[in-house]
Amino acid sequence: MTAAASARQILTRLHEVMAGRTHAQYKLDRVVEIIAESLSSEVCSIYLLREGALELYATQGLNPEAVHVTRLAVGEGLTGTIANNIETLNLAEAKAHPDFAYRPETGEEQFHSFAGVPIVYRERAVGVLCVQHVDPRRYEDVEIEALQTTAMVLSELIAHKELVDGESVIDLEISHVENDILEGLPLVKGLAAGQAVFHQPRIEIDQVVAEDVEAERQRVYRAFDKMRDQIDALAREPEFGKGGEHVEVLETYKMFAYDEGWSRRINEAIDSGLTAEAAIERVQQRTRMRMREIDDPLLADRMHDLEDLSNRLLRIVSGQLGTAATQGLRRDTVLFARNLGPAELLEYDRRRLKGVVLEEGSLTAHVVIVARAMGVPVLGRVSGLRTRVAEGDEVILDADHGTVTLRPNQQVLEAFETRFARSREKQAAYAELRDVEPFTRDGTRITVMMNAGLRDDMSALAMSGADGVGLFRTEFQFLVSSTLPQRDRQMRLYRDVLDAAGDKPVIFRTVDIGGDKAVPYLDTAVAERDENPAMGWRALRLSLEREGLLKAQARALLEAAAGRSLSVMFPMVSEPWEFDAGKKVFEDQLAFQRDRRRQVPETIRYGCMLEVPALADMLDVLLPKLSFVSVGTNDLTQFLFAADRANPKLAERYDWLSPAILRFLARVSRSFVGHDVQLGVCGEMGGRRLEALALLGIGYRRLSITPAAVGPIKELVRKVDLGELTAQMSRWLAAPPPDMRGALQQWAGERDIEVE
């Protein structure tokens, strides 16, 4: 008989036992009998995790009295080691292994050889299946395979509660590691608690043993075909043409998708009697186990990609499509993902989404900006998500200190509650500043506005007490819709935003699509492949060429602001003529409206963003043309340092407080002297206290920031003596200290100005 046929026979017998309407104990007793017999072993035992220890649940060959008596801690003895390391042991001489622990009640001293495999549920060991033999021999690979497959069947049965009898509850959800702490980079500060939910949910496998092997084989073939199509389609998308990390990932995907070895192993697993789903999972488990033994970060990355792909294949084959957002959040949630797009994040229910943990991510990636606007703390650059977090784990996210605690114990929970309460007190203190105007100690009024992008954001205006909306990112509407928003829909949004703002000003920025804000309906239709989208065909560059787009937006804005005042800002202006061209589209539309005797805005103010360094040298030409300029430090700094703002590898490399950036910004601010043009900053930098302090010290008096930062920044402003700060900053810029951040921190500390 071939190995596959014998494996299938074992599975079929196991399946019959499991399908019977009998007691769990009876089933387990039969399982150990079948395995012992099939593997010609004197002993076969099953240990399952109960109340934190591995308990002998069934045995063939060891002393039956030891059942439910012998208990081993995870990590104790060979069995405990297998569970702890989620590894397979295959030993000719068990006693020779350093972890061997002798249990006299089992009567196992006569057996020399030992092989054991973990029973894994959601990447965590919930038990161990092992065989022992009198003769000192190592088990054959096919025998180990058979054990592993059986372990998997057992795990699925446990998962479906088919093995739980009355009181003997098997711990599925409770890991042995309490207070497991993962570390990362704080991207949006804040605290959150909730249950762990994966953005790409794990697939539940309902049936493990195949009824019709041929049918399962066909299902896997079809799934492979579909997956390859999807990957190929992905490769044709413009964002993958740009080079860099995306492309590497895609290349790896392709390599795996077309990897004969992978599909062959899955087919072999089907031959041994597993369903398509179980076979995919089985192969994945085996790879995971192998990878655990190899300590190579590069391979770990690859593993990650294979894991993604394997999940994709599982989703296709099982028809369980969609993300956690489509399934809906049931409780307070901390979301885990490798990465997310801004639109994907916006699909989540804001009331339930309390925090986000990403394996990638960077401070100015748009998903992070959106999360910041939603007030959702985000921790990025966290590794180990897949192996250490289980769906449904209780989680405490401390994005202030850069940690996530998994499965916190009572003590940690209480400490968290105390901190949470303190942070709420602070929030309440900020709320009291809502109606207080932010004057510096020496009497300069600083304008603190907020950034917004969606209708929902507008409620934050009253709540935060911001002076207005200094940046309304109109492209968010484009990002969250599946088709191009028509003029009417745009107009309704802008009108609602103006209504919500009342007397406070709103600066609408025309669409900034492209870069990491790709919209499928535009990109695939019109965009050539951009090698480098952040520096490519985006924002005003795109709007000016797709004139219909800008015209429609101009009409929508003019109509929405009829009878009131309108402020329009153009993004990514690189040369003054681009501003002129953008303005002309609006002026033409205005004339058109007037011709038709339609009501038009009472006043229109035009401005532009300064995010392209070249524009800074043209301010003498530009400034006479406009009313305001807002520095977009997110883009500006990525161009100054030639460091992609969305690249997680560069997320921590350059500091906004570097003398190069501050000198540049100071020079920009000096260029405004003598011009009646408002100058502000609307990048993320302005919402961070230490950075805001530096900006105030180099002449910036208007900040537009994320709503949650309005309170803290107002508080900061009120503590600052602007004259003193300005003098200090100019000394530092003339002769930069080796650590500008440290120097500023110390300066603030000495003046009792809180900057963290």
CB of 480 to ligand PEP, least distance (A): 15
Separate counts of helices (H) and strands (E) for the chain:
28, 22
In the complex, minimum distance from the CB of residue 402 to ligand PEP, in angstroms, rounded to a whole number: 23
Question: Which of the ranges 615-623, 627-635, 691-699, 719-727 carries the binding residues for ligand PEP, by CB under 6 A?
Answer: 627-635
* 512: contact with ligand PEP by CB under 6 A: yes
C-beta closer to ligand PEP: residue 157 or 631: 631
Question: What is the smallest separation between the CB atom of 571 and ligand PEP, expressed in angstroms?
Answer: 7
- Among 116, 470, 576, 632, the residue binding Mg ion under the rule CB under 5 A is 632
Rounded-to-integer distance, Cα 370 and Cα 448, Å: 19
CA–CA dist 518, 366 (Å, integer): 11
Binding site partner of 682, from Mg ion, ligand PEP, none, Cβ cut-off 5-8 A by kind: ligand PEP
Crossing angle of helices 245-257/213-236, nearest 10°? 150
Nearer Cβ to Mg ion (470/632): 632
Edge-to-edge order in the sheet of strand 53-60: 71-73, 53-60, 43-50, 124-133, 113-121, 89-91
- Please, which residue, 475 or 715, has the CB nearer to Mg ion? 475
Cα angle, residue 643 at apex, residues 642 and 645 outer, rounded to 5° = 130
**533 is a site residue for Mg ion (CB under 5 A):** no
Q: How far is the CB of 514 from Mg ion (least distance, A)?
A: 10
The footprint of ligand PEP on residues 163-202 (CB under 6 A) is: none
Q: Which is nearer to Mg ion, 39 or 646 (CB)?
A: 646
Residue that is written with structure tokens 């076969």 in the block: 44
Residue 84 makes contact with ligand PEP by CB under 6 A: no
398 touches ligand PEP by CB under 6 A:
no
Interface residue with ligand PEP, options 116, 485, 632, 697 (CB under 6 A)? 632
Which partner, ligand PEP, Mg ion, none, binds residue 633 by CB below 5 to 8 Å per kind?
Answer: ligand PEP
Q: H or E segment at 302?
A: helix 297-318
633 belongs to the binding site for ligand PEP (CB under 6 A): yes
Question: What pairs with residue 629 in β-bridges?
Answer: 608, 679
CB closer to Mg ion, 609 vs 753 = 609
Contact between 536 and Mg ion by CB under 5 A: the answer reads: no
Q: In this chain, which residue has its C-beta nearest to ligand PEP?
A: 632
Q: Return the residues of window 684-723 that contact ligand PEP according to CB under 6 A.
A: none
Binding ligand PEP (rule: CB under 6 A), the pick from 683, 686, 687, 699 is 683
Q: How far apart are CA 451 and CA 458, in angstroms?
A: 9
d(CA 391, CA 258): 30
302 class by beta-carbon count within 10 Å (0-12 exposed, 13-18 middle, 19+ buried)? middle
* Residue 140 CB coordination number (10 Å): 13
Residue 705 sits at the vertex; the CA angle it makes with 670 and 196, to the nearest 5 degrees, is 145
By Cβ distance, which residue is nearest to Mg ion? 635
Q: Which position among 191, 682, 708, 717 is part of the footprint of ligand PEP (CB under 6 A)?
A: 682
Identified binder of ligand PEP from the candidate list 271, 305, 467, 635, rule CB under 6 A: 635
Q: Residues binding ligand PEP: what is the number (CB under 6 A)?
A: 11
Cβ contacts of 719 within 8 Å, gap of 6 or more: 441, 751, 752, 753
Q: Sign of torsion, CA 359 360 365 367? A: negative
CB of 290 to ligand PEP, least distance (A): 42
For residue 126, what is the enclosing H or E element?
Answer: strand 124-133
Site string for ligand PEP, 568-607 (x = CB under 6 A): ----------------------------------------
Binding mask 360-379 for ligand PEP (x = CB under 6 A): ---------x----------
Residue number with CB closer to ligand PEP (196 or 713): 713
**CB 565 to Mg ion: min, Å:** 24
Sheet strand arrangement including 353-358: 180-183, 403-406, 394-398, 191-198, 333-337, 353-358, 378-380, 185-188
Q: State yes or no: residue 684 binds Mg ion (CB under 5 A).
A: no
- Only one of the segments 66-74, 111-119, 235-243, 630-638 lies at the binding site for ligand PEP (rule: CB under 6 A); that segment is 630-638
Question: Residue 701, SS3?
Answer: coil
Residue type, 390: A
Burial 25-49 (b: 16+ CB within 10 A, else e): eebbbbbbbbbbebbebbbbbbbbb
Residue nearer to ligand PEP on the CB measure, 143 or 475: 475
Pairing of strands 124-133, 113-121: antiparallel
Instruction: Tell me whether strands 353-358 and 333-337 are parallel, antiparallel or unpaired.
Output: parallel
What's the burial of 382, exposed, middle or buried (CB within 10 Å: 0-12/13-18/19+)?
A: buried
CB of 513 to ligand PEP, least distance (A): 10
Residue 307, binding choice from ligand PEP, Mg ion, none, Cβ under 5 to 8 Å by partner class: none
Nearer to ligand PEP, 117 or 612 (CB): 612
Binding mask 600-619 for Mg ion (x = CB under 5 A): -----------x--------
Q: Is 658 exposed, middle or buried (0-12, 13-18, 19+ CB in 10 A)?
A: middle
Find the shortest distance in angstroms from Cβ 365 to Mg ion.
12
Q: What is the DSSP code string of 254-273?
A: HHHHT-HHHHHHHHHHHHTT
User: Is the CB of 324 or the CB of 363 nearer to Mg ion?
Assistant: 363
- 635 is a contact residue toward Mg ion (CB under 5 A): yes
Site residues (vs Mg ion, CB under 5 A):
611, 632, 635
Site residues (vs ligand PEP, CB under 6 A):
369, 471, 473, 512, 611, 632-635, 682-683
